[in-house]
Chains A and B, each alone.
Chain A
Amino acid sequence: MGKVTGFMEFDRLSEANLPVVERVKNYKEFVLHLTDDQAKVQGARCMDCGIPFCTTGCPINNIIPDWNDLVYHQNWRSAIDVLHSTNNFPEFTGRICPAPCEAACTLNINDDAVGIKSIEHAIIDKAWENGWVQPQINPNKTGKKIAIVGSGPAGLAAAQQLARAGHSVVVFEKNSRIGGLLRYGIPDFKFEKSHIDRRMAQMQAEGVEFKVNQHVGENVSADDLVKSYDAVILAGGAELPRDLPVPGRELDGVYFAMDFLTPQNRVVAGDLIPNQIRATGKHVVVIGGGDTGSDCVGTSNRHGAASITQFELMPQPPEKENKALVWPNWPLKMRTSSSHEEGANRDWSITTKELIGENGKVVALKGARVEWKDGKMTEIAGSEFTIKADLVFLAMGFVSPIQKLLNAFGVEKDNRGNAKAETEGATSYQTSKAKIFAAGDVRRGQSLVVWAIREGRQAARAVDEFLMGSSVLPR
């Protein structure tokens, strides 16, 4: 345990951000990880609970108390070993995970949670700096071949685990770079893409083969994969965005969030995008109050939008949750992201009634206020309003995987259109089709990166067991 009375002595210290004026000038990460001394103090706040709720709050069951203690004792080398034992990519989660572990932290009951994510961030950054992240090459090859469709966090985690178990792994990615939504969905200012490249190099050294521009179901035959490989893992994500069926939806200037975010990431990566959607000087309205909406806000600010407004259909959450009833679960509460800090008008309980256009181009949005009662929404009479809008981004989440992929393999789907597979038992992660597995958003629907990593790891073990009869891969 860090320090017995650390939690009583030290306050939580959040990671510092670069000032808004500076950071909106570019697409670089602006979160400064903790110094060694700061991390030590934050580690001292961990109480090493008899039941570490954080560990189960974390989808990949990071052994948080142990590395908190190691950081407190400045034993960084061991800390990364423990961290890596549950998490293939701490540099991903240490940056973009909403940290359900911290919600579950015992200190969060009546105090500020331990800054688990910031400690994780510090550990992995130090590990990279010191060259402690090295390929773990398994010299004993099994001779089994596995195809993984999709190179998002689920696919990557599965690939790394399986390669380390001695299998030959090929990752098929439809885009020109690997990473999935990590690469193309999350803006660079939150997550620079070099992190992916570094991991890719490590994985290649471990024997993972990456094939880009390989769109399974389009330019790569599903049947061929099934024939050529001993197992296939579908890890293609849940990319079908939720649409907004209101009058004016067809207008120019109304886009899905990804239509806006992905090109920007490509540009940062050095691609030339001829007709990139730019928010510069525009009145931007973002519909949807989640993380993607936030990313639209942040990107619009960097473009230099004239105004940014973000609407959310649900009511404004409370500033503080009722911890007695919510803890250790993820609380619904008012959250202000770093993008919001950079400037945006936010409003809640707003429904979009119509998108008003001129010459086929959107110019305004007509909305109304709604009232929620017992989970039912009613529009408040007379609350209609109109707001200027040159660009409207739909950021209301994702409905399901692209059905074409699933259809190509002919796997059974659940009632939400996801690939159907259990996560427990003898046939975990197996689809209805022999030797075809599914992991990540393609199986569970849209979710967090950390859930994707979990599913990738667990699916890897399932595949290993399936192929070898038993597995020593940790779940």
Chain B
Amino acid sequence: MATDLSNTIGFENSNVGSDVYSGQPVEQGLYSPSNERDACGVGFVAHIKGVKSHKIVQQGLELLTNLTHRGATGYDPKLGDGAGLLMQMPDAFMRKEAAKLNINLPVAGQYAVGNVFLPKEINNRAACEAIFSKIIAEENQTFLGWRNVPVDNSNIAQAARDVEPIMRQVFIASTGTDQNVFERKLFVIRKRIEHAVRALNLQDKAAFYMPSLSSRTIVYKGMLLANEVGVYYTDLNDESIVSALALVHQRFSTNTFPAWDLAHPFRMIAHNGEINTVQGNVNWMAARHEAMRSTLLGADLEKLWPLIADGQSDSACFDNCLELLVAGGYSLPHAMMMLIPEAWGNNPLMDEDRRAFYEYHAALMEPWDGPAAVAFTDGRMIGATLDRNGLRPARYLVTEDDIVMMASEMGVLTFPQEKIVKKWRLQPGKMLLIDMEQGRIIDDAEVKNALATAKPYKQWIEKSRYFLSDMPKVDGQLEMAADLLDLQQAFGYTQEDIKFVLQPMVQNGEEGSGSMGNDAALPVLSAKPKVLYNYFKQLFAQVTNPPIDPIREELVMSLVTFIGPKPNLLGLDESTPPMRLEASQPVLMLDELDQLKAIATLTQNQYKSLVLDMTYPANQGKAGMAAAVASITKAASDAVQNGFNILILSDRNVSESRVAIPALLACSATHEHLVKAGLRTSTGLVVDTGSAREVHHFALLAGYGAEAVCPWLTFETIKGMAADNYTANKNFVKAISKGLYKVMSKMGISTYQSYCGAQIFEAIGLNSEFVEKYFTGTASQIEGIGLQHVAEESVRLHAAAFGADPVLVNQLDAGGEYAFRVRGEEHTWTPDSIAKLQNATRTGKYETYKEYAKLINDQSRRHMTLRGLFEIKPAGVAIPLDQVEPAKEIVKRFATGAMSLGSISTEAHATLAIAMNRIGGKSNTGEGGEDAKRFIPVANATSMAAVLGSKLIEKDIALQAGDSMRSSIKQVASGRFGVTAEYLANADQIQIKMAQGAKPGEGGQLPGHKVSEYIAKLRFSVPGVGLISPPPHHDIYSIEDLAQLIHDLKNANPKASISVKLVSETGVGTVAAGVAKAKSDHIVIAGHDGGTGASPISSIKHAGTPWELGLSETQQTLVLNQLRGRVIVQVDGQMKTGRDVVIGALLGADEFGFATAPLVVEGCIMMRKCHLNTCPVGVATQDPELRKRFTGQPEHVVNYFFFVAEEVRELMASMGIAKFDDLIGRPELLDMQAGIEHWKINGLDFSKVFHQPDMPASVSRKNNDVQDHGLVNALDNKLVELAKPALEKGEKVVLDIPITNTNRTVGTMLSNQIATRYGNAGLPNDTIHVNFTGTSGQSFAAFLAKGITFDLTGEGNDYVGKGMCGGRIVIKPPKTFRGIAHENIIVGNTVMFGATTGESYFSGVAGERFCVRNSGATAVVEGVGNHGCEYMTGGTVVVLGVTGLNFAAGMSGGVAYVYDEDGMFAKRCNMGMVALEKVEAAEADVGKVLHLNQPDEVTLKTLIENHANYTSSVRAKSLLENWTVSRAKFVKVMPNEYKRALTELAAAASKEVA
């Protein structure tokens, strides 16, 4: 059905509470459209020589269709997230269509066609259209007319149709001849039209959008499923539509709201990934406004502003910026290199010119940082580039008939193998460029070298660069206006700042660790004055983009900061490069600050600095601060206008008579004032403050605009804490640098430059007036205090510092944030509450439990949690207790937290499992595998030691008949320790830990001394060798990756539900919606305060938010998206009482997780020493002597949960609610408690938390539905059927099966069958042998069990052999493929991730992160990308070709043998944990400690022989032919820890023998 334009469509009243014209809900409750995220499948087909054809368009559409699984659908399976196609202007077609409308088009290139989405309402549409003709005329171009674009919307989802715009095309003729000038003008016209339409402020303005306006390209896109693009736009089927390129994109968004304009491609790009720094990038673009000039754009430049409209997606913002750069004269590849530079700082292999190019441009433009595969085109060239860390997949192939096809995965378009000449992938930071005018592929090296040498960048840099460290020292002295102690007190120092914060940093050069989470009062609830820093929480990446490992992947990180004005972004023809002042990291020493003060002298007035005083007279009190802030910002802009270009905000004048403005406030206020004035890029901003002392402080100052910070008082404070001042200062700076890396990387940001001003924080307890004024754009969900109270806190601290308080006369305030202190901060866990809880559960006295619960619940005097301020309202008249659902039903909703064996003792771990199994709840393995002996329920009364072995148990615990020690939730975390098919098969629920409340966005480390023989066995590692959990899951860099992992795990155990654990932060609701769309069955929302075995203390305190906020946002967003019914929502984080449970339910939780409380029941007394292995009650320790002290019993835990349930019942009875189900999602039954008098609390407003989206009653508020995982379509159904003889009788089965990329996760259900029947032992090797032909989809052979051989002729995509546990994989190119195997890619990224056993042979090159976290499998491959063997803890890897950079980072076990043909391997290897050795002849190894107990030569040669046999590898054969020579070129990568452990084990063994 084509849209009939003569019908004016009225406004339908669809979604209540949403913008009816766009389908996007308006901001409401905790939901904000600005949190939307997306990720995608992307691809293109192009003819290298620029030969246009209709076939290419068709192929683009076919490619798109085969990427469908990378998208998602919402509650309506027809409602996709958008898809589209960009192609060259089809001149013949347009000419034909224009002619029908009596429009006579000029020659190709002299006219433009714009695709336009227009409002349905006829007058509004007319108004929009009128603007076109007016502005086109004003810009001296010729308006030719409109064409209605025919569409067939008969098959699109109702919700998409409801907001479907009118599709028209506008024709414009050029009045000049230069097509580039015309394109530039079209850009101006489009921006002006957009601004003008926005200014009309139409009711249905959201329906207006311009997908493209160009003489070279055109974009057809919409709210369509991938396979619907060609159906909806009937134009595309017209044979006269021809193009030499087709760029396509399939979107996966985190919501289900139809948005036509958010589909890709944009005008120049299609993007798969996420720009983490977008807020900062957009701010910086705005900040450049005044300072930007362009010869090419001239006066037109001003017409472009606002360059980036509010409320756009990150990709759209990026596209805007790219358009500007290109319009401003940069070539497309040049602009891309500026926006997404490769990691240049630490790359040992990069040549000087290229490094200089990047360094030069770094001052011009901060990176748009985040995972990204960006395909770009201007219609003449097409290309793609990948982010610096290679976090998105992008593969390509080239055929002999000049076709290039690039896509997120292979197999999306099939070409005859014999025609393919090259199969490769985009490498991290690299670019693929096809210049269709030149008719050739320009490879990364060529394009970049050409650009890098086009101008003398190296010379320019050397001439214009100042290094702060190279400048002459200035003789400066720190003069303090008061005593050290008084100053410390004035800035809010506590004893804990010294003990927990500064000492570890100064002594060890790194931040201290803590454990057991955070149960102290939120700053806004605290009766004590808090520093402003504490009101901000760090944001972190979860699901939609990966955090980075800043230690193991340091090569992508940089703290380089430029202090001072930024050059003109569009000044590319300016020949004198502006000066640049560079520091290697942003913490300035005292003498460096003095240098800045004297910078004018040091740089012959190139720079002029000015110190602005952040203090004001103390006698003005809190009332004086507003004026003080205003005057400092005014002084800043005046100074910039007067030619100062480095502003130093300083609070050194603090004294008895002068009080400081919080440095963060002054910094942010000044930064934003300058941004808004367009002056920010004309000056540097440096903060000289006594307040900054911990990582969080520095991160905040950076996030709100400081280019560098001098913590003057800290330097004074740490004097004497180390051997000498130099060491103290050096260690402190080192610790802060490491910490900044960590804070940046948890958001996936790798450079300080793009972190600076990026505002990666949210506020808790600050009111919106204050935040909007001084921290514009920062989320703050529950209001709170404003400037007056912020000022009051400073004034109070100041008064106490200089007052007469005897406690503060000779010591700092106790603090009490990190540990309970009598004069310190309030905590929920107190000696009293712990004693009462333990007593109650040990004696079984409910009355004592009630006393405990009262201590926690009653926060009328001590305020600690948000929920403590809530009041529960009755739903009706109270009912008798016996009418309420019984406790034994309620306890089934309870789970214990994910605490690994390793973090807690076997006794403590198994006791929880027994208890939860007794009550029908769920316990959680945590990361680290589980002993298979625990999977079987005990038949008769016995004991823990009898089942697990007496050697493993220090304190035996009695087991009853029917007990089980099996943890029903099996966790899958980033390290994948012990994750096998058998482990997964023994789960009721499989939980993917995306983040952990105590340290979201961070990894972990289990030090070698904690890796006992038992733990090593369960984790498939070597005893005594340390284990690293990476910050990201290396198979989840985006939402569609998560969907893939969910699918993998569902295949691994179709009976188990799949759970995804998220941590509360602003935007988590949107992430949760995405997770629900990714088909998770279960979502955990964890509070920020959850426990931990070990975590950096700043993470415990400053990342994440209380679960009340995250849960509520999740509930609201899921309901708005109509996704709530299909998932179970669980909440956890300092859950302690029945009241907590009821509030959780009312805010939308079906289930509840408890961790700390059950540990306390087991005997934990909040020692907070878990990270030291000295737990004196045997709970969180592996020390056998201490474990003997464990006193926990399953009965105690059972008592606890029944007590909690009983308390829930009592509350339900009083509320008049009989069924627990009727509690869920009823925020209207909550209110803020009246009558709490507190100077800070009064400003809090929970109305957003208690908001209930106004959706029809039919939209579920609780779980009542299931996900459709689509397993019926799996190829494995067929495999399982055909393999029956093997599964049932162990008979050998050989199968021949064709395969394509849409066959995802093949072999996993089959492996589940083996694991279920035969455990991890599996079947004899090769019992099931499957010969596949074709291109396999993602996760081929995931969790492949022993007994299965997959022999694939063709190629694989990402995640081949993920989690493999015993199987064998062989992948080889088809015989017809003419390429050289070791120069062509055969498998994608993250292959063999987390494999535990088994072997694989790949005749070709693998992508990035080959064998990451391998713990025992064997692999042979002919080349790998970056980060090969990262975090490997066991196994053997043979690489017969070139490796990428950062090989063996974090590798602590196993061995890799690398064929180092060019002798450069050492430069590509990360030597942090490994040493390189020669592969000796077998004879030379006699008597040595050996990997696999055999000489390296034997191991290596056997594997190469196997490889040759299985794959017929040419490379293997040639190496074997000349073995002695080949052997000499092999390098053995030997982890230091593994070597030590092997030696120790050998020594221990020989001792035993003796």
Contact = CB atoms under 8 A, between A and B. Distances in A.
B1176 A51 contact: no
Nearest to A86: B822
Given A51-B831, A61-B822, A82-B811, A106 B805 contact: no
A332 interface: no
Contact of B830 (A56, A66, A104, A329): A56
Contacts of A472: 803-807
Contacts of B805: 472
B396 to A, nearest CB: 55
Contacts of A82: 811
A48 B803 CA distance: 30
Tell me the dominant secondary structure on chain B's binding face: loop
A324 B830 CA distance: 17
A63 B831 contact: no
A325 B839 contact: yes
Contact of B1165 (A49, A56, A63, A85): A49
A55 B1166 CA distance: 14
B1174 A474 contact: no
B832 A50 contact: no
Nearest to A475: B823
Nearest to A55: B822
A135 interface: no
A365 B839 CA distance: 42
Nearest to B823: A474
B1186 A8 contact: yes
A57 interface: yes
Given A49-B1165, A50-B820, A106-B1167, A81 B810 contact: yes
B516 interface: yes
A109 interface: yes
Given A107-B1176, A110-B1189, A110-B1191, A57 B803 contact: no
A61 B834 CA distance: 18
B1176 A56 contact: no
Interface in A341-393: none
B639 to A, nearest CB: 42
Nearest to B1185: A8
Given A82-B811, A104-B831, A110-B1191, A50 B1168 contact: yes
B1177 interface: yes
Nearest to A82: B811
B1185 A63 contact: no
Interface in A309-343: 324-325, 327-329
B1248 interface: no
A457 B827 CA distance: 24
A111 interface: yes
Contacts of A327: 835
Contacts of B1167: 47, 49-51, 106
Contacts of B495: 66
Contact of B1174 (A5, A140, A164, A328): A5
Contacts of B1165: 49, 51, 53, 106, 109
Nearest to A66: B495
Contact of B1176 (A7, A52, A329, A473): A7
A240 interface: no
B181 interface: no
Nearest to A166: B804
Contacts of A109: 1163, 1165, 1176-1177, 1189
B819 A51 contact: yes
Nearest to B838: A324
Nearest to B495: A66
Contacts of A325: 839, 842-843
Nearest to B1191: A324
A111 B495 CA distance: 29
B806 A164 contact: yes
A328 B1172 contact: no
Nearest to B820: A51
Contacts of A5: 1174
B1540 interface: no
Given A51-B1165, A164-B806, A8 B1174 contact: yes
A472 B796 CA distance: 13
Interface in B771-828: 803-807, 810-811, 814, 819-823, 827
A53 B829 CA distance: 11
Given A49-B1167, A51-B830, A472-B803, A85 B1176 contact: no
Given A106-B1176, A474-B806, A328 B839 contact: no
A56 B832 contact: yes
B829 A474 contact: no
Interface string A55-74: 11100010100100000000
A379 to B, nearest CB: 31
Contacts of B832: 56
Contact of A47 (B515, B806, B1169, B1189): B1169
B516 A50 contact: yes
Nearest to B843: A325
A63 B1166 contact: no
Contact of B1177 (A51, A104, A110, A474): A110
Interface in B831-859: 831-832, 834-835, 838-839, 842-843
Contacts of A85: 806-807, 811
A53 B831 contact: yes
A50 B834 contact: no
A389 B1185 CA distance: 53
A451 B244 CA distance: 91
Interface string B854-880: 000000000000000000000000000
Nearest to A6: B1174
B59 to A, nearest CB: 63
A66 B832 CA distance: 21
A47 B839 contact: no
Contacts of A18: none
A231 B804 CA distance: 22
Contacts of A61: 822-823
A472 B1174 CA distance: 38
A20 interface: no
Contacts of A66: 495
A61 B1168 CA distance: 20
A82 B814 CA distance: 11
A5 B1183 CA distance: 11
Contacts of A473: 806
A107 B1172 CA distance: 16
Contacts of B843: 325
Contacts of B810: 81
A137 to B, nearest CB: 13
Contacts of B821: 52, 55, 63
A474 B821 CA distance: 14
A138 to B, nearest CB: 9
B88 to A, nearest CB: 66
B313 to A, nearest CB: 45
Contacts of B1189: 109-111
Contacts of A104: 831
Nearest to B516: A50
Nearest to B1163: A109
Contacts of A49: 819, 1165-1169
A51 B820 CA distance: 5
A56 B835 CA distance: 12
A4 B822 contact: no
Interface in B493-546: 495, 515-516
A327 B838 CA distance: 10
A3 B1202 CA distance: 40
Given A5-B1174, A82-B811, A109-B1177, A328 B831 contact: yes
5 contacts: A4-B1174, A47-B1167, A49-B819, A51-B819, A61-B822
Per CB-CB distance, the 3 closest pairs between chain A and chain B, nearest first, are A50-B1168, A472-B805, A61-B822
Given A111-B1189, A324-B842, 20 more contacts: A4-B1169, A4-B1172, A48-B819, A49-B1166, A49-B1167, A50-B1167, A51-B819, A51-B834, A51-B1166, A55-B821, A63-B814, A63-B822, A81-B811, A110-B1189, A164-B806, A327-B835, A328-B831, A329-B835, A472-B805, A474-B807
